[in-house]
Each structure stands twice: as C-alpha cells, then as structure tokens.
Structure 1
C-alpha cells in the first residue's frame, strides 16, 4: 500500500499539485487544508485573515476527486467560512479529506473534532475548529489510518498548551475507538507541533513510532514556508505496520508542506 499525507495549502499551488497527485497515484491520500465550494463557478477565491491573504482553489475537493477517479472520497469539514471573489463574500467549506482506492475495502470509519466543534457560522477566532478522520481498511489485514490537522495558535506558536493536550487526547480516542487489538495503526497529518511535543509523546504511548524524526529528515516544510521552525507534519505507525519505505519529499513543491510518503 502506498499512502500519501499532505497539507494541500488550499490548493495554492494547484498547477503543480494536481499533476503530481496523478503521477503519485496513492492508494490512500490523507489531505489537510481542503477547500470545498461546490456552488462556486470561479476557479480561484481569496482567503483573508488580517494581513494574511492567500489564493484558494475554490473546488479543490472536486478537482482532487477527478484526479483520483478510482478512489472513494470523504470530505470532513471543520468550518464553513467566507472566501472572497473581489468584494463579494462566498461561503466555503474548509477541512480535510481522505481518498481510498476503490479496490481497498473500507470496513469502518470515524469522524470527529479534536478542537472545538463544527464552525457553521464562520472560521472563528484562533485557535479554530479542527477535525480528524479515520478509516479502517483491509490491506492483507485490518489497518486503521487516522489523520488530523492540529490547531494553529498564533500566541503560543507550536509549543505545548492545554488545548493541544486535549486535542491529542481526542485524536487518541478517535483511533482507539476504531482500532481493534492486532490492527495496524497509522496516524498522520499536519499536527502543528514540534518534535518532542506532548502530542507525539501521547501517540507514542499508544504504541506508535514517529518516522519523520526517526528518519533524520531536516523538516517537513518547503521553501515556500519562510518562517522559522521546519517541522509540522508527522507520520506514526505501530508494530503491526510493515514499513518498506518512508520519505519526506522536498521537491517538487506542491504546497508549503512536504508530502509524506509511506510504502507498506
């Protein structure tokens, strides 16, 4: 099985991302920062948060679905907020998505929130709502693959906080509620924490090992990310998962995050 985990940055690098996904052709894709604006006729909208302005691919979810037509697609919204078409506000869903090749049986799944709940009336103040999704598939035996997008806290940066501790507990609860004894477990995503964080320690206590720092990779952010601190994304596995190969791709740049690629 080939698994790709990536923060898609709202499709900002759409022209690079889509052909790369077609070429990578993962069996399972765990994708964070997914935009889903099904009624928009525009290709691009704009995200505005103070001085932070970013182009967003309006129908990103549908375009990734079309790129992986043989996959079942699951969109898990965290909030419905406003993107902008010039001066016109456009309601748009934002969250994460999981894509599973149709030949792989999905024998269970769980969806929930690791921080706050569904933001039906806008993105809200930081730290904002964060969702998580887990699927239990059959790949020569049962494997649970869980992803989350960890909360962003402008005041605390990526440091441990009480909210991040609670987030880790919710993520562990989502995994534990789906995985049965003996299942393979893979946990991944843009956790928005540093190596050695309480989040990683809590997942390690679940019997998982972390492959990014274990592999000696220098970080998970591309040159598009200009702030200090190169780690945000992680992929963890338990002993029932046979790791044939793991990589953190610095190039090509398809986001300001690097794709994490696991071959089992």
Structure 2
C-alpha cells in the first residue's frame, strides 16, 4: 500500500505534478493547497493579497482527478474567496483533497476544521481557516484496516513557532484521526503542518503514540528548490506502528511543488 502526502502549491507546477501522480499513482493521495473554481473554464487565475500575487491552477482539483481516473476523489474546502481573470473576479474555493484507489473500499470518513470554521465570504485574515480530512479503508492485500488523516496547518505571518492555536489544531487533528480509526487499525497522520522539528505539534502527536518519519529517518528538508525562504521543514508523516513501514521517502526529484512529496509504503 502506497500513501503520498503533498502540498500542491495551488497547482503552480501543474504539469510536473500531474505527470508525477499519473506515472506512479498512489493508493491514497493526500493533497493540500487545492484550488477548485467550478464556475470558470480558465486554466489559470491570479491570486492577489496585497503585494503577494500568485498564479493558481483554476481547477486544480479537476486536473488531479482527471489524472487519477481510478480513484475516488473528495474535495474539502476551507474557504471561498476570489481569484482574478484580468479585472474580473472569479469565485474560487481553496482547501485540501483526498484520492483513494477504487480497489480499496472507503468504510469511514471524517471532515472538520482544525482552525476556525468555513469562510464563505473571502479567504479571511491570517491565520486563515484550516480543515482536515480522514478516511478509513480496508486493504485487501494486507487484510487490515488503515486510516489516513491529513491537514494543512495554519500559517502564522510571525513564523512557525509554537502557539496556543497550533497546539489546539494538533489536538483537533488527533481527535479527527481517533474518530475515523478502529482500535486495531494502522493509523497514519500527515500533512503540511507548517511547523519546525521539535515543535509542540509533533510532541503532542508523539505522546499519542505516533512515530514521525521525516526527521527520524534523517531527511534534512521537505522543501524543493522553489522555496526560497529560510526553514526547510513543513511536511510530516507519522504512523502508530512503525513495524508496518516497508519504505519511506521524501522525493526531491522530480520537483512538483515548492514542497516535496512524502511517500510511505507499507
């Protein structure tokens, strides 16, 4: 069973990302920073936030869904704001998505917010709304239940330090994982947590019995060369039973985002 976790950067490197997931499709893909603009047929729209201007793949969720036709796709919006086609504003939803191969029945799901609530009238002030999604599947190859829950952790403009809000979202993530998991399940928790190694978020998850795989296995970064700021970590994957891990990797090549894919095989 192969699980991939990735922040898709709004589809900015759309062609490379789609080619990557199509060439080696995972059983479960956990994708953060997903754009969904169903009222527009444009390929690209523009995000504007003061001086911050970024091209966004207008229907990134549809693009990845088309690249994985044998997967069940679920989009989980955190907010609806506007993107821009020149001077025309286009309503657009932003959130995360989960893709599960049809060979594995989804026998449980949970979706909720780990920070704030759904923002229906704009993306909102930072730190913005953040959601999480969990699925429970039966893996016939290994004859066991597996649950996978991922989130996109809040972005604080002051940095990735510990805050009460980040501690609260870690506890909410744990609660969501517990709600979708059975007592004998292999449990995976992952996502772009937007924290550094040694953070309170990772300590809370470790105290709940999870083993963090990125730093424990010696990887020095989860960022690609497209990320120019200091701080080389954001993304993490954790499991409740390390003995089921046959391999774990952080993929630096090809570059499909300013984040690197995390790949777990069990």
TM-score, with structure 1 as normaliser:
0.98
8 A Cα contact 2:223 2:260, kept in partner: yes
Number of equivalenced pairs = 263
Partner of 2:253: 251
Partner of 2:240: 238
**Deviations along 1:219-258, whole A, 9 cap, x unmatched?**
1000000000000000000117610000001111100000
**Deviations along 1:14-67, whole A, 9 cap, x unmatched?**
121111110121110000000001120110001111121111000110111110
Q: Distance in 1 between matches of 2:231 and 2:265?
A: 27
Structural RMSD (CA):
0.9
8 A Cα contact 1:149 1:190, kept in partner: yes
More deviation, 43-52/26-35: 43-52
Once the two structures are superposed, the pairs formed by residues 1-264 of structure 1 within 5 Å of their partners are 1-139=1-139, 140-155=143-158, 157-239=159-241, 242-264=244-266
8 A Cα contact 1:222 1:255, kept in partner: yes
Q: Distance in 1 between matches of 2:241 and 2:247?
A: 15
Please list every run of 5 or more consecutive structure 1 residues that lacks an aligned counterpart in the other structure: none
246 and 51 in structure 1: CA distance in 2 versus 1, 3 angstrom threshold = same
| Stretches (4+) displaced over 6 A | none
Please list every run of 5 or more consecutive structure 2 residues that lacks an aligned counterpart in the other structure: none
TM-score, with structure 2 as normaliser:
0.97
SS class of match (1:213): coil
**Deviations along 1:96-122, whole A, 9 cap, x unmatched?**
000000010111010000000001011
Q: Distance in 2 between matches of 1:136 and 1:41?
A: 33
8 A Cα contact 2:211 2:242, kept in partner: no
8 A Cα contact 1:106 1:137, kept in partner: yes
8 A Cα contact 1:44 1:55, kept in partner: yes
